[in-house]
Amino acid sequence: MKGENEQMARKEYLDYCWNRLVKPQIGYSFSIPHDIAYSIEAVQEANLATRYNPLFWSCACLCVNAGSSATDFEDNGDADYGDEENITSPWETDVDDDISDADEIKKTKSVPINYPKIAKAISDAQQSGVQIMLPDINLAQLDFIPDIKHNAIVYSLSTITNINQEWAKAIIAGRPYSSLEDFMSHLTLTPVQMISLIKAGSFDAIENRPRQAIMRSYLEAYARTKVTFKEKVTTVHLGKAVEFGIVPDNYKSHVRLFNYKKWIDKNEKQADKKIYAIVDPDSVQFFERYLKDKMVLGKDYDTVPAGYTFKTSTFEKKYKEIMAPVMEWFSSNEGRQALYRAECEDVVKSMWDKYCQGSLSTWEMSSMSFYYSGHELANMKSLAYNLRSFKDLPEELKPLRMKTLKSGKETPVYDVVGIAGTVVGANNNKHIVTLLTPTGVVDVKFYAEAYIHYNKNISTVDTNGKKTMIEKSWFTRGNKLLIYGVRQENMFLPKTDYDKGIRHSVNLIESCSSEYPKIKFEREKTKNSSQ
């Protein structure tokens, strides 16, 4: 017995393990309340998955995986969920009509949107065959919802960039809308909010025209609220008219004179500003060609070596006489209307350049973190850049062979390939960048030093301490990246391969309008940079 006991655990030790480590867990791990709760949940999920259209289950999974924030679903009278065996849709609840006013809505803090999570959830749903619809302004709800009629899931209204839950509730409460103009008459959203809604295709259905045209219509309406029709105009306003190029062609000579005066006022006035000293060759030539015959030598002007002089007061008088016809036109209703239209168009152009650059795909990415109209990099030549689909790469990282270095040390050689995608998010703590590629979402894991290098904002500082941004972080949401490396389990690891000519693991795609995009290999170089 003694020898036998020496080969076995002592009874005291086994009793201790049972009584102190195992037995206390039995009450929790296998308790009846625990079993009942999970059993009920399983029955509910089984009922949802089998009794309702599979689209409901897909939508439920999408809502959970995306981490969308709505705690209950609002009733949608316009949505066609179908009436299968008179089953009431589990998504239908009572509408909360108690909507805060605009001031209260503006004060409401938005819950930060987890763009990588949303992008991955949508990508997974799309890869399983589920269609994601644009957030129709008369159909979309706080959360993703199924649309049986179109066999698709409608994008969440509250997860559109710049649209929080309170604004989404206000939009839902004001339905239905018959047009963009009708919507604007009910709600006063900020320009960035309206632009986000339009980019997301929210008005495509009710306007039934190209999205770019819808955007322009909104910007034109916005411009009319920012520009005032001039009841009286001056030469200052004439400067804008000249700048806009709206002065009729029959006043070309007057425009030239306007620009001439503007130039000599700046460059050829004497210190006391009472005399013009015209000596610049071009200035002299203009005077001789357009003004000399309209002025009297010795009275209106005098000659000097290489040029002319004349009093500013005398020239101002002559200038007004010559400019009278164009000022008469400019002061008319036709001229003021032309200025008004030009100022409105200038606002439209400024807003478009600032907020509306890019294709429909670019707009969708910036407003929803997914591509409805197709990925911007879908046409990129795979063979030219050795691009691979992440999901097709082996999960286990194995070297192709071993390579002997000059030092005699052996190092593994891996099959370095490329992935290209749009940045949807970056985790500064974990040094992970999430890319939305044409074939799915990929997490790229960086070493700390490399992550900091590509993530910093690069700027210069002048002698006065003024900082000028030279280049933003390459990990800015919406940027397109070409990254070379290897797959290790569920991560992509950046890696170079000089033998293949891959000297930079991270590359910025500056333009993707063709199969061969414009690529930047290195960051801007400056002594002054900030993160």
Transcribe 298-361 into DSSP letters. TTTBEEETTEEEEEHHHHHHHHHHHHHHHHHHHHSHHHHHHHHHHHHHHHHHHHHHHH--S-HH
Q: What are the tens digits of pLDDT across the range 339-375?
A: 999 999 999 999 999 999 999 999 999 999 899 999 9
Range of the domain at 69: 41-174
What is the spatial distance between Cα 48 and Cα 35, in angstroms, rounded to a whole number?
20
pLDDT band at 7 (very low <50, low <70, confident <90, very high): low
Q: What value does the mean pLDDT take over residues 72-82? A: 36
Of 174, 206, 222, the residue that ends a domain is 174
Asked whether the predicted pLDDT for residue 48 surpasses 70, the reply is yes
- Answer yes or no: is 181 within a domain: no
Tell me: do 425 and 338 sit in the same domain. no
Domain count, the chain: 4
Greater confidence (12 vs 385) lies with 385
Tell me: do 63 and 167 sit in the same domain. yes
pLDDT band at 6 (very low <50, low <70, confident <90, very high): low
Percent of the chain with pLDDT over 90: 62
Average pLDDT, the chain: 86
Instruction: State the burial class of residue 25 (Cβ atoms within 10 Å of its Cβ: 0-12, 13-18, 19+).
Output: exposed
Asked whether the predicted pLDDT for residue 70 surpasses 70, the reply is no
Tell me: do 516 and 389 sit in the same domain. yes
Tell me: do 85 and 25 sit in the same domain. no
DSSP state of 252: H
Specify the pLDDT at position 18: 85
What is the spatial distance between Cα 160 and Cα 135, in angstroms, rounded to a whole number?
9
What is the spatial distance between Cα 77 and Cα 92, in angstroms, rounded to a whole number?
9
Tell me: do 55 and 153 sit in the same domain. yes
Of 319, 353, 387, the residue that ends a domain is 353
Tell me: do 487 and 516 sit in the same domain. yes
Specify the pLDDT at position 176: 96
- Answer yes or no: is 215 within a domain: no
Q: Using an 8 Å Cβ cutoff, are 432 and 424 in contact?
A: no
Asked whether the predicted pLDDT for residue 474 surpasses 50, the reply is yes
- Answer yes or no: is 213 within a domain: no
DSSP state of 527: S
DSSP state of 289: I
Tell me: do 379 and 501 sit in the same domain. yes
Specify the pLDDT at position 254: 94
- Answer yes or no: is 519 within a domain: yes
For 57, the token pair is 């289950």
Whole-angstrom CA distances from 485 to 143, 377, 397, 414, 507 are 37, 18, 11, 9, 12
Tell me: do 400 and 464 sit in the same domain. yes
Q: Which sign, positive or negative, has the C-alpha torsion 67, 70, 73, 79?
A: negative
Tell me: do 380 and 522 sit in the same domain. yes
- Answer yes or no: is 259 within a domain: yes
Specify the pLDDT at position 443: 96
Tell me: do 392 and 515 sit in the same domain. yes
Write the CATH number for 486. Answer: 2.40.50.320
Tell me: do 490 and 381 sit in the same domain. yes
Specify the pLDDT at position 8: 58
Tell me: do 78 and 117 sit in the same domain. yes
